[in-house]
Amino acid sequence: MNLREKLHLEQQSKALFGQAQGYAFDYADDALQRNIFPTEQALKDLGQFAEDLPTATGDSAAILEQLHQYGSPATVAQTGGRYFGFVNGGILPVTLATKWLTDFWDQNTALQVMSPITSKLEEVCEQWLKELLDLPDSTVAGFVSGTSSAIFCGLAAARFRIYNNQHWDFNQQGHNGAPPIRIIAGRHTHGAVVKAIGLLGFGIDNIEWVDCDDQGRIIPGQMPALDNSCIILLQAGNVNSGAFDPFVEICDNANAADAWVHIDGAFGLWAAGTKRLKHLTPGMEKAHSWSVDGHKTLNTPYDSGILLCRDKEALVSALQATGAYLTSCYSESRDGMLYTPEMSRRARAIELWAALKYLGRDGVDELVVGMHQRAQQFADLLKSADFDILNDVVFNQVIVSPSADDQTTQSILEAIQQSGECWVGGSLWNGQKVIRISVCSWVTSEEDINRSAQAFIKARDSIIAASDK
């Protein structure tokens, strides 16, 4: 039997897909109770994958069995309710099921003629996002892998527009001899923004840094004088504190100067789509571009980043590819590749469509506000147990200080991680080592928070008791 015959037989029999389904269901049944981080044995067993590249064609069933036996135990259980490490979202059942279906479709989404269904649902998502987040009617969306890519796209569009306004065609003339562009950002700007600044050739050393308050928000009075060469970077959700920059004053001043504002809202932009947390985002609509993840707060599968830009010409001009075989295929409908740096892309927007259709406005409100409520519960429990909470819990982030001594804090953090009860990460806040809690999953319940708070208390008490001996 040759390779094509073997593959055709596997495709027709469906047994392999049934086997994968069984393994997936086993994993789902165990995800809520297993250790949040892999055990030492599970990590050791990853050595099973260290082998020479096979010569002969393999056995599909055996490959899946190996992956489930040794791969599943070595995953991080972020689909459970007690993972609070990075800002990693859970996954809505409807979006997981949608992903399974669209994996069988395996659509390339560059052009409408490649995938009419994806083109239509990207168009629908774009409209729904504008309505949900109250963005300008001119806003267009690019569906990329994550906020890092979305920021890159937003700043590429900004670069095109800033230069174009100064009669400089960046696509043709490039950086050499170009007029200067000023990059203005708060000192708490996320590393993904700084990376995009470097990748786009602006130069990290050229950033004009603006001081922030004790919550990590830019202080408007510390902003430099603006002009039409400026790109300003703001945050909807500080990655440590969850705080939101003051958009109204800064955006008004930027618009008056004909400058560009990009808002990095990887997890926090969704607050604008709620009734009860919308007070965090006034003036957000005055910006020019926004970046946000579906796979964080909205709980779509990875990878689901979204770039929103109210200047379609700038975005398309910055990202558009050319070629006779491409331009002859452009349609009057949406061609997704015009709004992203990639040409070949998976149909990630279909999962986003499923999430938004399932949740609706009320569901988005309940989901997002629920994360805030669980974060507040976590903070209240730890505060009552004499942990210092260093931030105002305005969204889903909690900064915890269990000790004034950095080494003790690190030891307590490691004890919590090793407990298997929950998983949290460390960070630095105003020069002090802290523990950072991010509540990002629909699964997280009040009991999950109670159980995790007890893990904090037990870890702290054990470390202090050991140091007293």
**Domain C-terminal end among 53, 75, 97:** 75
> Domain range spanning residue 155?
106-356
Q: If you average pLDDT over residues 200-213, what whole number do you get? A: 97
Q: What are the pLDDT digits (tens) for 312-336? A: 999 999 998 665 555 556 667 889 9
Other C-beta atoms lying within 10 Å of the C-beta of residue 252: 13
Q: What are the pLDDT digits (tens) for 87-106? A: 999 999 999 999 999 999 99
Separation in Å, CA 247 to CA 63, 222, 242, 260, 283? 52, 14, 15, 13, 5
**Domain C-terminal end among 33, 57, 75:** 75
pLDDT of res. 31: 76
CATH code (residue 438): 3.90.1150.10
pLDDT of res. 5: 87
How far is the C-alpha of 316 from the C-alpha of 324, rounded, in Å? 17
Same domain, 272 and 320: yes
Angle, to 10 degrees, between the axis of helix 93-105 and the axis of helix 348-384? 150
pLDDT of res. 323: 58
Same domain, 317 and 413: no
How far is the C-alpha of 352 from the C-alpha of 6, rounded, in Å? 35
Same domain, 346 and 410: no
pLDDT of res. 80: 85
Q: How confident is the model at residue 33 (pLDDT cuts 50, 70, 90)?
A: confident
Q: How many helices (H) and strands (E) does the chain have?
A: 15, 12
Residue 175 phi/psi, 5° resolution?
A: -80, -30
Provide the number of structural domains found in the chain: 3
Separation in Å, CA 458 to CA 41, 255, 405? 24, 52, 18
Q: What are the pLDDT digits (tens) for 124-161? A: 999 999 999 999 999 999 999 999 999 999 999 999 99
Let me know how long the chain is: 469
Same domain, 405 and 259: no
CATH code (residue 195): 3.40.640.10
Q: If you average pLDDT over residues 286-302, what whole number do you get? A: 97
pLDDT of res. 10: 87
Give domain status of residue 463, yes or no.
yes
Same domain, 344 and 258: yes
Same domain, 389 and 334: no
pLDDT of res. 137: 97
Give domain status of residue 221, yes or no.
yes
Same domain, 365 and 342: no
Same domain, 296 and 344: yes
pLDDT of res. 332: 79
- C-alpha torsion 416→428→154→442, nearest 10: 20
Q: What percentage of residues in the chain have a pLDDT greater than 90?
A: 87
